Structure 1
Amino acid sequence: MMIAVMAVAALGLLGVAHWYLWRRTVRDVSRPGGRYRRTGTVLAFLLPVLMVLAPIGGRAFPLAVERWFAWPGYLWMAVSIYLLLALLAGEALRPLLLRLHRRHARRRTPAAAVTAPAPVTVPAAPAEPAALAETAVPAETAAPAAPAAPTEPAGPAAVEASRRLFVSRVVAGSAAAVAVGVVGNGAYGVLRGPRVKQVTVPLAKLPRAAHGYRIAVVSDIHLGPILGKAHTRRIVDTINAVQPDLITVVGDLVDGTVPELGPAARPLADLRARDGAYFVTGNHEYFSGAAPWVEFVRELGVHPLENARVELPWFDLAGVNDIAGTAQGQGPDYARALDDRDRTRAAVLMAHQPVTIHDSVRHGVDLQLSGHTHGGQLWPGNYLAELANPTVAGLERYGDTQLYVTRGAGAWGPPVRVGAPSDITVVTLASLRA
Structure 2
Amino acid sequence: MVKVLSAVLALACVFSAWPAYGWGGVAVLHLVGVSLVLELINLLLKRTPFVFKKWDLIYRSGILSFLIIAVVFSYGYINMQQIKKTSYRIGTPKIQQEETLRIALMSDIHLGVTMSAKDLENWCGKIQSQEPDLVLLTGDIFDEDTKREEMERAAKALGYMKSTYGSFYVYGNHDSNQYREKPEYTSGYLRNTLEKAGVRVLEDEVFKTGKDICIIGRKDAGDRDRKSLKEIMKDAPEKSFRILMDHQPGDLKENNRQGIDLQVSGHTHAGQIWPTGQLMQLLGINEINYGYRKTGNLQTVVTSGMAGWGYPIRTGGHCEYVIIDVVLKK
Q: What displacement does 1:419 show? A: 2.7
Determine if contact 1:251/1:285 at 8 Å carries over to the other structure: yes
Q: What SS class does the counterpart of residue 325 from structure 1 fall into? A: coil
Structure 1 residues 193, 102: closer, same or farther in 2, change over 3 A? closer
Runs (4 or more) in structure 1 with deviation over 4 Å come to 40-44, 96-105, 162-166, 224-227
In 1, distance between residues paired with 2:92 and 2:128?
A: 25
Going by fraction, where is strand more abundant, 1 or 2? 2
Q: What displacement does 1:210 show? A: 2.3
1:195 pairs with 2:84:
yes
Q: What displacement does 1:332 show? A: 3.8
Counterpart in 1 of 2:33?
85
Q: What displacement does 1:163 show? A: 8.8
Counterpart in 2 of 1:293?
190
Structure 1 residues 237, 372: closer, same or farther in 2, change over 3 A? same
1:205 to 94, 99, 102: 94
Equivalent residue runs for 1:6-405 within 5 Å? 32=2, 38=5, 42=8, 44-46=10-12, 48-53=14-19, 73-74=22-23, 76-98=24-46, 166-169=58-61, 172-190=62-80, 192-211=81-100, 213-224=101-112, 227-256=115-144, 259=148, 261-263=150-152, 265-266=154-155, 267-288=157-178, 289-314=186-211, 315-326=213-224, 329=225, 331-386=226-281, 387-405=284-302
In 1, distance between residues paired with 2:36 and 2:43?
A: 13
TM superposition score normalised by structure 1: 0.66
Larger radius of gyration: 1
Q: What displacement does 1:348 show? A: 1.0
The structure whose RCO (Cα within 8 Å, separation 6+) is larger is 2
Counterpart in 1 of 2:182?
none
- Letter matched to residue 161 of structure 2: L
338-347 or 245-254, which moves further after superposition?
A: 338-347
Q: What SS class does the counterpart of residue 205 from structure 1 fall into? A: coil
In 2, distance between residues paired with 1:93 and 1:368?
A: 45
Q: What SS class does the counterpart of residue 323 from structure 1 fall into? A: coil
Q: Root-mean-square deviation (CA), in Å?
A: 2.8
Deviation by residue 1:101-155 (Cα, 9 ceiling, x = unmatched): 65787xxxxxxxxxxxxxxxxxxxxxxxxxxxxxxxxxxxxxxxxxxxxxxxxxx
- Letter matched to residue 328 of structure 2: S
Going by fraction, where is helix more abundant, 1 or 2? 1
Counterpart in 2 of 1:140?
none
- Letter matched to residue 316 of structure 1: C
Q: What SS class does the counterpart of residue 384 from structure 1 fall into? A: helix
Q: What displacement does 1:173 show? A: 2.3
Determine if contact 2:266/2:305 at 8 Å carries over to the other structure: yes
Structure 1 residues 347, 197: closer, same or farther in 2, change over 3 A? same
Structure 1 residues 54, 163: closer, same or farther in 2, change over 3 A? closer
- Letter matched to residue 188 of structure 1: I
Counterpart in 1 of 2:307?
410
In 2, distance between residues paired with 1:41 and 1:321?
A: 48
Structure 1 residues 332, 236: closer, same or farther in 2, change over 3 A? farther
Alignment gaps of 5+ in structure 1: 1-30, 56-72, 106-161
Percent of residue pairs bearing the same amino acid type: 25
TM superposition score normalised by structure 2: 0.85
Deviation by residue 1:20-48 (Cα, 9 ceiling, x = unmatched): xxxxxxxxxxx728xxx84x765643454
Counterpart in 1 of 2:183?
none
Q: What displacement does 1:366 show? A: 0.6
Q: What displacement does 1:411 show? A: 0.9
In 2, distance between residues paired with 1:186 and 1:166?
A: 25
In 1, distance between residues paired with 2:163 and 2:51?
A: 69
